Structure 1
């Protein structure tokens, strides 16, 4: 099966996987990716909050979360890396109805990694993972264009994973894009 850039697929439908074993281990990791990246960075992780605001999600994101066109979601974009070297771009989409009860903590997370709320104890949120898809993104994808706006142009295709979680009966999404340095030790 040939890999179709910018098409999200379940792992079993993916076809060619990244050749680099370090990148592959991050891309297909379960549990806290933040924890894995922190180990890779020798215990110190640099998280930069690039954007957090209510905005209209892209059409593909609206469809993913069953959002009505024109509705807002809280969009949080961060880069995570070792020092000044970004390894990961993450985009979180939270519909307003996902921010009730304990999940309101998403509103005040600021520059802390999201993994602390999802996987860290104590105080972790009652969530469950519904689905995870993967894609190889090229420069034509909206998310790759957004990364170029925020972090500078990327000259190569980038691997990404998109995870749908549920809290209560509300879904939210996290898209994680592995930047070129992620595959380097």
Structure 2
């Protein structure tokens, strides 16, 4: 079975061509993206789960989590809505081996934002943000578009790593114009 495309993640200062200042500001958001989207939407923020369950993780995800290629993990894909419109596609993953050793309720989030939990738990530390032009074929068909900026960061709590990727959809840039 052929390996699906992987995003080419880079440190923010290694992106070429560089994002615009506005794009870089969003890509480099150090606080909770949930909080920022909630403020921009006038408190009309919502999470729509698209898919979640055990899957074989992508090679770049395995590498970031420090597990063997082909490892299984919990995958959660959602839209983050602002004012009734999807502004962000998010994909969060954690290796099965780490979740079994260090339980974290990724499977029970429902419409709760993962960021809401990560930023409230001081035991999680955030690794540096990486960004890329996210491969269109990795996006849901409804929002598939080439050249969209995405970012990801790894949140660690001991041996547990939760990798969170967020892709900024065109509607966000319209709302933040």
The TM tier, using the shorter chain, reads 0.7 to 0.9
Distance in 1 (CA, whole Å) between partners of 2:125 and 2:36 is: 20
- TM-score between both structures, scaled by the size of structure 1: 0.81
1-structure distance, mates of 2:102, 2:117: 10
Stretches of structure 1 that go unaligned for 5 or more consecutive residues are 1-5
Alignment correspondent of 2:76? 76
Distance of 1:148 and 1:107 partners within structure 2? 20
Match of 1:134 in 2: 131
State the TM-score, normalized to the length of structure 2: 0.84
Q: Name the residue aligned to 1:160.
A: 150
Instruction: Write the mapping of 1:6-155 to structure 2, written as runs, cut at 5 A.
Output: 6-19=7-20, 21=22, 23-99=23-99, 103-120=103-120, 124=121, 126-137=123-134, 141=135, 144-149=136-141, 151-154=142-145
2:161 pairs with 1:174: no
Q: Secondary structure of the equivalent of 2:10?
A: coil
Local SS of the residue matching 1:99: helix
Give the CA RMSD over aligned residues. 2.1
> Structure 1: which 4+ aligned runs deviate by more than 6 Å?
none
Give the Cα–Cα distance (whole angstroms) in 1 for the partners of residues 87 and 72 of structure 2.
28
Compute the displacement of 1:82 (Å).
1.8
Match of 1:3 in 2: none
SS of alignment partner, residue 162 of structure 2: strand
Residues 79-120 of structure 1: CA distance to partner in whole angstroms, max 9, x if unpaired?
A: 112244211011001112433688522221111001111113
Give the CA deviation at 1:125.
5.4
Aligned CA distance change for structure 1 residues 20 and 130 (closer, same or farther; 3 Å):
closer
Aligned equivalents of 1:45, 1:101: Cα separation in 2: 33
Q: Distance in 1 between matches of 2:76 and 2:139?
A: 13
User: 1:75 Cα deviation (Å)?
Assistant: 0.2
> What secondary structure does 1:184 align onto?
helix
Give per-residue Cα distances to partners, 1:142-182, cap 9 Å, x unaligned: xx213143x3432x410011101211123221111111112
